[in-house]
């Protein structure tokens, strides 16, 4: 794994998350299975994978919205994994979230100012000071200060997402969980919001946990990336290394599936992906003891079904693949 040069703002160690309760949860395959990573102040870590890979579940565990079955979540070195809501409330200002849908994440019956002062009220900030901070927050995301007097219906989708970012920033946090923050926006608006996020990160030294399914978007904003499949880490490393020279067959497949603006290139990628024999996301359930990508992997052998490959350094990234040396034939 990459060694951080400063103390991490957020650290996840051997995280396991299961859904359900009682015997059902114990017998169910984990939605997140032994994931570890750390994020330094001023750094963006991208969590990438298809639907069902566990990336949003990790975000929920970090935010305390779903209890982990095992492992730890540390914020500035403090273990918040099993912390009570009362004790966790004192960390509320430091850990905030921006959700995917800018339309459903805002209350249509409240003005932007009322929405932004609500988290401040919970922190004991009220009256003129709260509204002054709300106004400063909307101005910091490129909206006019009088936006605090307007309602969500008076804004476009991109502007609403700026409001959602302002709501996260109003408490002066240190860590932001960004759960697919631009996937509901058109391409030109995506670029504007991503540039805004990069500027805010650099200006305030924020740590971003950036959940996404699009490697192209992650490449723009993140310095490092963790590639997930069925709750396990397939590959992790510097974003340029992972996206330009992937060492795991799943990362190769994910890269090939990323949309490009040129139809001819998109068709060529699809043809190459089919020629390599990558299975679909609905492929058969893998063996619980081996690599979860076995049913879809063109390089799989018997050992892949019985032995879970450990993360090991291959090239410039860490990958969990017994046959990483042969992955170049798939690129």
263 pLDDT above the threshold of 80? no
259 pLDDT above the threshold of 80? no
282 pLDDT above the threshold of 80? no
Question: Which domains does the chain show, CATH number per domain?
Answer: 10-94+173-246 (3.40.50.300)
Which DSSP category does 255 fall into? H
The Cα 33–Cα 183 span in angstroms is 26
109 pLDDT above the threshold of 70? yes
Report the mean per-residue pLDDT for the chain: 89
Confidence of residue 283 (pLDDT cuts 50, 70, 90): low
What is the model's pLDDT at position 328?
86
Please, are residues 231 and 225 in contact by the beta-carbon 8 Å criterion?
Answer: no
Average pLDDT over residues 79-107: 85
> What is each CA distance from 196 to 155, 162, 233, 271, in whole angstroms?
17, 9, 29, 36
What is the model's pLDDT at position 270?
66
> What is each CA distance from 206 to 179, 181, 232, 313, in whole angstroms?
16, 16, 26, 28
Q: Which of 55-59, 147-151, 217-221, 271-275 has the lowest mean pLDDT?
A: 271-275
Confidence of residue 260 (pLDDT cuts 50, 70, 90): low
Higher pLDDT, 150 or 3: 150
The pairing of strands 78-79 and 232-238 is: unpaired
Higher pLDDT, 100 or 9: 9
Which is nearest to 154 in space by CA: 139, 143, 165, 167? 143
What is the model's pLDDT at position 179?
94
What is the model's pLDDT at position 46?
97
Which DSSP category does 326 fall into? G
Which is nearest to 46 in space by CA: 257, 197, 169? 197
Higher pLDDT, 191 or 82: 191
Torsion of CA 114, 118, 121, 127, to 10 degrees: -10
pTM of the model: 0.91
Please, are residues 309 and 229 in contact by the beta-carbon 8 Å criterion?
Answer: no
Please, are residues 100 and 185 in contact by the beta-carbon 8 Å criterion?
Answer: no
Output the six-digit token pair for 82: 């099993």
288 pLDDT above the threshold of 80? no
Question: What residues form DSSP beta bridges with 13?
Answer: 72
**H-assigned helices in the chain:** 22-27, 55-63, 85-88, 112-122, 127-140, 157-169, 187-204, 215-221, 239-244, 249-257, 263-276, 302-306
Higher pLDDT, 23 or 5: 23
Instruction: Render pLDDT for 42-91 as a digit per residue (tens, 0 to 9).
Output: 999 999 999 889 999 999 999 999 999 999 999 999 999 988 877 777 77
The Cα 2–Cα 4 span in angstroms is 6
What is the model's pLDDT at position 140?
97
Confidence of residue 102 (pLDDT cuts 50, 70, 90): confident
The dihedral built from the CA positions of residue 100, 101, 104 and 109, taken in this order, carries a sign that is: positive
Average pLDDT over residues 37-45: 97
269 pLDDT above the threshold of 80? no
């Amino acid at each position: 794994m990459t060694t951080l040069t400063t103390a991490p703002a957020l650290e996840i160690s051997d995280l396991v998350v299961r859904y359900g309760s009682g015997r059902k949860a114990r017998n169910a395959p984990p939605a997140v299975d032994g994931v570890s990573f750390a994020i330094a102040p001023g750094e963006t870590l991208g969590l990438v994978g298809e639907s069902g890979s566990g990336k949003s579940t990790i975000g929920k565990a970090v935010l305390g919205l779903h209890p982990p079955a095992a492992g730890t979540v540390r914020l500035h070195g403090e273990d918040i994994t099993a912390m009570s809501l009362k004790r966790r409330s004192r960390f509320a200002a430091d850990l905030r979230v921006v959700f995917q849908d800018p339309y459903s994440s805002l209350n249509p019956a409240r003005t932007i100012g009322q929405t932004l002062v609500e988290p401040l009220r919970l922190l004991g900030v009220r009256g003129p000071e709260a509204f002054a901070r709300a106004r400063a927050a909307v101005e910091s995301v490129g909206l006019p200060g009088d936006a605090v007097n307007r309602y969500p219906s008076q804004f476009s989708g991109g502007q609403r997402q700026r409001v959602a970012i302002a709501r996260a920033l109003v408490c002066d946090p240190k860590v932001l969980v960004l759960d697919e923050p631009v996937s509901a926006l058109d391409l030109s608006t995506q670029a504007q919001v991503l540039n805004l996020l990069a500027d805010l990160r650099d200006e305030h030294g924020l740590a971003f946990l950036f959940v996404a399914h699009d490697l192209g978007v992650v490449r723009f904003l993140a310095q490092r990336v963790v590639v997930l499949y069925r709750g396990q880490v397939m590959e992790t490393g510097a974003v340029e290394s992972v996206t330009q020279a992937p060492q795991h067959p799943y990362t190769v497949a994910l890269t090939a599936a990323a949309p490009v603006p040129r139809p001819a290139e998109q068709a060529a990628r699809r043809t190459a992906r089919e020629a390599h024999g990558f299975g679909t996301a609905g492929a058969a359930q893998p063996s619980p003891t081996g690599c979860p990508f076995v049913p879809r992997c063109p390089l799989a052998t018997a050992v892949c079904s019985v032995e879970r490959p450990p993360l090991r350094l291959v090239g410039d990234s860490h990958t969990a693949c017994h046959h990483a040396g042969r992955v170049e034939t798939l690129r």
